[in-house]
Structure formats: C-alpha cells, structure tokens
Amino acid sequence: MNNGYAKKPDFDKCIEAATDLLYRQDDLFTFHLDIRKLKYDRTIYFDSVQGYCVRVGVPIRRVMFGKNRLLKEGCTVKGDDFYLVLYNEDRRSFERQQWTMAHEIGHIYLEHEKDEDKEEAEAHCFTGQLFMPDYSLYRIVKDFNGACADIAEIFRVSNAAAQRRWNTFFRKRTVHAGKKDQAIWEMQREKVELYFYCKQNGLAFNREFFKYGKKRDLLKTADVISSFSELSNLFV
C-alpha cells in the first residue's frame, strides 16, 4: 500500500552484513583495512578502472568523463559467478580508494540491483560499520575515553568519514553487543591499546605500529620454534 515504506533503507541489515564480513576475518591487526585482501565467501576481483579500460580496449574518456560517464568513484561489474570491483586510481588517497571499494562490496553483499538513494544510504552504512564497527567505537569511548580524532587515526579513515560515523554513533540509544561484535573487538583491541599507549607516551603511532607488527610476527614464529625445540628435546 505504501510504496514509500519499501524504499526505506534497512540499516540493521547493513550493519549485520558488515559485521558478518569482519567476523569472517582471521586477523584485523592491520594498519589499514585493505579491502582487496579481506576473506570473502564469494568471488570478487578488483581492478582500477584505468587498468581495466586498457585491458578490454575501452577508451577511458568514455567511462570517466562527459555526460554519459559510467563512473565517478567506483562501480561493480557482475559476471555469472563473480564480481569485478572497479575503482578510480587517479588522484585518490589510499584511504579514499579503500572506502570506494568497501562501498561497492556493500552493494554486492546487500544484493543491490539498483543504485538509487536507498541503496546508496545502505552501502554507506555498510562501509561505516566495516571501517568503524559500532561496538568497537563503544569500547574505544568507554575504555579509552577516545575522541573522534582518535577514531580517524585508529581506523585510518578521513576526518570527515570519522566525524559522520561519530555523529551517527552518538544518536544511537543502544549498541549491539553480540558474540560477533565482541569477537571483532577482540581482534581490534590490540591495535587500539597500542594506539593509546603511543598517544600517552608521545610516540609516533605509525612507526610504532610497524615496529610492533614485526615483533608480533617474530613472536608467532618464536612460538613455533619453542614448541619445536620442546618437541626435539623429547628425542635427545
């Protein structure tokens, strides 16, 4: 009866889809969330639109410029059993490209057929949750007294994106704290702790992150070595 109702964005569905995708990951201790490297349960390829045009022999100007251009930031090509996400590699920061690709992943996971206002709002909500999950924001504010600027630094998003997410977050009355939300936070907590440690001690987070990351990798290897030597001791 009311057509307007069907056009309302379903934000719960978007949050759930992004949460599920984060929960699928083995490790979220990364400086940037690299959308191309996430574990997906469908076949998704990525290419720059510039690279793609060269490969398929379509003039870039037809895709990128003029009245009938197909693409401003990114788009998805749907194959029989795969998706190809195209992003604009020109004059874009790494963060911006990641955001664009995540937006396209949102369209894929939310099974959008169109790209109208409702779909745009939903893909945007998906992207926000993927980069800055609600429950993790809640813990950053509650446990670390984090501010909006900290969110941008921790999750490597633009200040504008962090600010929008921050505003949405504080409008909410409740934060979902299910098993998956908590598991995602556990995967992100280490980075958050390191960030606030650096902040309190006046250390450069990006430098410390990579130093710590190396040690972390070594530690993993060391675990294997120590159990290996334990094992070999048994044979002496």
Site residues for Zn ion per CB under 5 A: 123
CB of 111 to Zn ion, least distance (A): 13
Residue 47 near residue 6 (C-beta atoms within 8 A): no
- 89 vs 93: CA distance, rounded Å: 9
Cβ proximity to Zn ion: between 97 and 136 the closer is 97
CB of 120 to Zn ion, least distance (A): 5
Q: CB-based contacts of 223: which residues, under 8 Å, 6+ apart?
A: none
Place of tokens 């690299």: 34
- 190 vs 213: CA distance, rounded Å: 11
CB of 150 to Zn ion, least distance (A): 28
- 180 vs 183: CA distance, rounded Å: 5
User: Which residue sits closest to Zn ion, CB atoms considered?
Assistant: 123
CB of 74 to Zn ion, least distance (A): 8
Cβ proximity to Zn ion: between 25 and 76 the closer is 76
* Dihedrals phi, psi of 76, to nearest 5 degrees: -125, 135
Cβ proximity to Zn ion: between 17 and 192 the closer is 17
Cβ proximity to Zn ion: between 97 and 188 the closer is 97
CB of 101 to Zn ion, least distance (A): 11
- 39 vs 23: CA distance, rounded Å: 10
- Contacts for 139-142 with beta carbons within 8 Å, 24 or more apart? 139/185, 139/189, 139/192, 140/192
Cβ proximity to Zn ion: between 53 and 123 the closer is 123
Cβ proximity to Zn ion: between 17 and 123 the closer is 123
For residue 135, with 0-12 CB atoms within 10 Å meaning exposed, 13-18 middle and 19 or more buried, which class applies? Answer: buried
CB of 88 to Zn ion, least distance (A): 13
